[in-house]
Amino acid sequence: EHICVLESFKELSTLGFNSKNIDVTNECIVDTNKLQMQISSDTSLLSIIHVNNETGSVNNIEAISKLCSGKDIYLHTDAVQSFGKIDIDVKKMGIHSLSASAHKLHGPKGIGLVFAKSGTPLSPMILGGSQERNRRGGTEFAAGIIGFAEAIRIAKKEMNDNFETVSQLREYFINAIEQSSLQNYSINCKDSSFHYILSLTFDSNFYKNDSEAMLMFLDINGIAASNGAACTSGTLKPSHVIMNMGKSKEDAMGTIRFSFSAYNTIEEVNYTIETLEKMSRKFRK
């Protein structure tokens, strides 16, 4: 899960709720068999990320919702990575709530949305006026709301074309890197991840993995990448997501995430591969 969900559950724990994490597979998706065993009569809330922001792994929310069927369990999904990029049918998914953010589809920063099924109890985190149906006090961010709405309109119109472009870019990236001089690396969730994300791990047996130095090398060369969620960048801690997949701390410190956009080009991919080759020589043991 994204750190914002983990921290929210920590806060619930301080209020007397018991929370526990759900085991994932090596592909970083929820193990539904173990989930089924962990659901009890006391379970009231389940939050499952739709597409993981670091690996691109896709959880089958519809199948998970069926495990909650007939039980008094509210199911939330963090759809920040997928919203506006693929079709989402909240009724088919069987969820009670969904969160999304504008900046992930080239909209303005600082604005998001929460879909809540009718009857879902939501208490406001910001108290005050009756704005937004008493869900969030304070004057609405009108410019952000309008910008988000326009970003959704454009994303929906261009969704199929954008997905095809990004899929081709990602496939080209994978083929190019496999034909490059890079060695001793792995592509995380290569065949099952969302096409907008690609995660690479450099084997710590062969590389002096240092995520900060590696990202700085890429940044100096004009390439934006990350070793985890942007919200946790700068913490110098290995990604909990990568380590939960069974990777060592040392391997996690050598994991780099690339995000694709329909605005990227083949030329940019070629330049990135060339830069990764230079980086690999620099950090080789």
Residues 59, 74: Cα–Cα separation, whole Å: 17
Burial class (CB in 10 A: 0-12, 13-18, 19+), 248: middle
Provide φ and ψ at 198, rounded to 5°: -140, 125
User: Could you report the per-residue pLDDT of 233-285, keeping only the tens digit for each?
Assistant: 555 678 888 888 888 999 999 999 999 999 999 999 999 999 999 999 999 99
- The full set of domain ranges for the chain reads 3-150, 159-283
Q: How far apart are CA 250 and CA 211, in angstroms?
A: 10
In the predicted structure, residue 128 carries a pLDDT above the cut 80? yes
Q: What is the pLDDT of residues 129-186, one digit of tens each?
A: 888 888 888 989 999 999 999 999 999 999 999 999 999 999 999 999 999 999 999 9
Where in the sequence numbering do the catalytic residues fall?
A: 231
Measured distance CA(4)–CA(32) in Å, rounded? 22
Give the pLDDT confidence score for residue 126 in this predicted structure: 85
Q: How far apart are CA 22 and CA 7, in angstroms?
A: 15
In the chain, which ranges are continuous DSSP H helix? Answer: 3-14, 32-38, 61-68, 90-93, 131-134, 142-178, 211-220, 240-244, 249-252, 266-283
The CATH number given to 159-283 is: 3.90.1150.10
Convert the pLDDT of each residue in 181-206 to its tens digit.
999 999 998 887 899 999 999 999 99
Average pLDDT value for residue range 118-125: 85
Q: CB 168: neighbour CB atoms within 10 A? A: 13
Give me the CATH topology for the region 3-150: Aspartate Aminotransferase; domain 2 (3.40.640)
Q: pLDDT tens digits, residue range 80-120?
A: 999 999 999 999 999 999 999 999 999 999 999 999 999 88
At 130 the pLDDT is 85
- The CA–CA distances, whole Å, from 84 to 105, 117, 226, 236 equal 6, 19, 22, 31
